[in-house]
């Protein structure tokens, strides 16, 4: 089995460790060796493993290693993934055993995506790199995501929705069919997006409008 580690030692990191365990129960693929995190000391432990080091440690890792990013902030996820320069590090797609694909062969995805428990992907869906679908996320037909998007539990993207890079979708947010979400946009929990958004803004409400904080 290939070695795998998780970048991110918080609660989501523990959940991703559980995801890896469930995948291995179905078909053994990885040996989980621990965590990397810039905010915790080497040797610090939780129920699933210990911190191996920080980004510098990862970039100096001497052997092949798969890494999954357990980061709930889209901007932080984008920054961290861009800092990995070690050619020995790979980024597998982690897909929970219960993810429902309407037509798996019609779905395309890059690398480093996390599809956690209860997600549902219709036909013709496209994912770029390092997208996080964090629990019961639904993607409609021909929906597409760029890179480094974070979708919290029960987010719903309708058919033909186009999403760029670095966006955040709060829990139970909804995007109407065919709507375009650009880059660096935040959608508040429970919000309904009915029309195209402007980059770099926070949207909330039903219908969702720009909110200034």
User: Residue 188 is part of a domain; what is its CATH number?
Assistant: 2.160.10.10
Whether residue 101 sits in one domain with residue 193: yes
**102 and 197 co-located in one domain:** yes
Q: What is the DSSP string of the chain?
A: -EEEEEE--SHHHHHHHHHHHHHHHHS--EEEEEEE-TTS-TT-B-SS-BEEE-HHHHHT--S-EEEEE----HHHHHHHHHH---TTEE-PPEE-TTPEES-GGG-EE-SS-EE-TT-EE-TT-EE-SS-EE-SS-EE-TT-EE-SS-EE-TT-EE-TT-EE-SS-EE-TT-EE-TT-EE-SS-EE-TT-EE-SPPPTT-EEETTTTEEE--
For residues 175 and 75, membership in a common domain is answered with: no
pTM of the model: 0.96
pLDDT in tens, the chain (213 residues): 899 999 999 999 999 999 999 999 999 999 999 999 999 999 999 999 999 999 999 999 999 999 999 999 999 999 999 999 999 999 999 999 999 999 999 999 999 999 999 999 999 999 999 999 999 999 999 999 999 999 999 999 999 999 999 999 999 999 999 999 999 999 999 999 999 999 999 999 999 999 988
Per-residue confidence (pLDDT) for residue 213, from 0 to 100: 80
Task: Answer yes or no: do 7 and 55 share one domain.
Answer: yes
Q: Are residues 104 and 183 in the same domain?
A: yes
pLDDT at 56: 98
| Structural domain includes residue 199 | yes
- Containing domain of residue 136, as a range? 95-204
Q: In this structure, are 140 and 162 located in the same domain?
A: yes
200/100 same-domain check? yes
Q: Is residue 212 part of a domain?
A: no
pLDDT at 196: 97
Q: 122 and 70: one domain?
A: no
Which of 58, 92, 126 terminates a domain? The answer is 92
Task: Indicate if 15 and 28 belong to the same structural domain.
Answer: yes
* End-of-domain residue from the set 92, 118, 137: 92
Could you tell me if residue 60 is inside a domain? yes
For residues 151 and 79, state if they share a domain: no
Give me the number of domains the chain comprises: 2
Q: Is the domain of 18 the same as that of 99?
A: no
Tell me: do 6 and 100 sit in the same domain: no
Predicted pLDDT of residue 90: 98
């Amino acid at each position: 089995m290939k070695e795998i580690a998780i970048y991110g030692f918080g609660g989501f990191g523990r959940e991703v460790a559980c995801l890896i365990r469930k995948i291995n129960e179905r078909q053994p693929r990885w040996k989980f060796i621990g965590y990397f995190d810039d905010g915790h000391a080497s040797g610090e432990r939780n129920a699933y493993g210990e911190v191996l080091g920080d980004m510098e440690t990862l970039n100096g890792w001497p052997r092949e290693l798969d890494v999954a990013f357990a980061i709930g902030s889209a901007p932080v996820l984008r920054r961290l993934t861009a800092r990995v320069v070690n050619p020995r590090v790979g980024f597998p797609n982690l897909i929970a055993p219960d993810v429902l694909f309407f037509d798996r062969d019609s779905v395309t995805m890059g690398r480093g995506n996390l599809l956690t428990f209860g997600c549902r992907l219709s036909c013709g869906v496209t994912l770029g790199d390092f997208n996080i679908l964090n629990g019961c996320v639904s993607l409609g037909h021909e929906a597409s995501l760029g890179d480094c998007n974070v979708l919290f539990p029960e987010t719903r993207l309708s058919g033909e929705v186009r999403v760029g890079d670095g966006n955040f979708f709060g829990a139970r947010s909804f995007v109407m069919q065919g709507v375009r979400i650009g880059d660096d946009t935040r959608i508040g929990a429970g919000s309904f997006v009915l029309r195209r958004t402007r980059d770099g803004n926070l949207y909330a409400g039903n219908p969702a409008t720009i909110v200034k904080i």
